[in-house]
């Protein structure tokens, strides 16, 4: 695993950044932490994205127009896993790498990192 990411198990996602986490960035007096998340859609496909609030983002994918166009037709979606990133740039790079994996590679990636499907 890339040393800039800490693996988090699926379940109850964080609501944002933690004050004592060294991976947080201080911006305008606010602590910002970025996450890469993987959703499993109702049709069995995967969606990967980045956010600063995993719990809010999963809710948006399931219940509002703010969710990605891809997931709107594939509801409900479930959180398969998420990873902490040191910055938005690193989160976007990891997201891109995950999106380029095949379905089988994504399943293996989730299992190896001990995330739940």
Residues facing 5 on adjacent strands: 85
Residue 111: pLDDT band (50, 70, 90) is confident
Domains of the chain: 5-112 (3.40.1440)
Residue 100, burial from CB neighbour count under 10 angstroms (0-12, 13-18, 19+): exposed
Backbone φ and ψ for 39, nearest 5 degrees, come out as -110, 145
Residues facing 37 on adjacent strands: 49, 82
What pTM was estimated for this model as a whole? 0.75
Residues 57-101 pLDDT 10s: 999 999 988 999 999 999 999 999 998 999 999 999 999 999 999
Residues 22-50 pLDDT 10s: 556 565 777 789 999 999 999 999 999 99
């Amino acid at each position: 695993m890339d040393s800039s990411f800490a693996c988090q198990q699926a379940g109850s996602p964080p609501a944002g950044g933690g004050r004592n986490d060294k991976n947080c960035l201080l911006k305008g007096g606010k602590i910002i932490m970025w996450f890469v998340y993987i959703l499993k859609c109702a049709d069995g496909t995967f969606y990967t994205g980045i956010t600063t609030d995993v719990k809010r983002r999963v809710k948006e994918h399931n219940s509002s127009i703010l969710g990605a166009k891809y997931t709107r037709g594939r509801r409900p979606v479930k959180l398969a896993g998420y990873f902490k990133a040191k910055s938005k740039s690193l989160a976007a790079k990891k997201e891109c790498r995950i999106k380029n994996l095949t379905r089988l590679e994504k399943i293996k990636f989730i299992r190896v990192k001990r995330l739940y499907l």
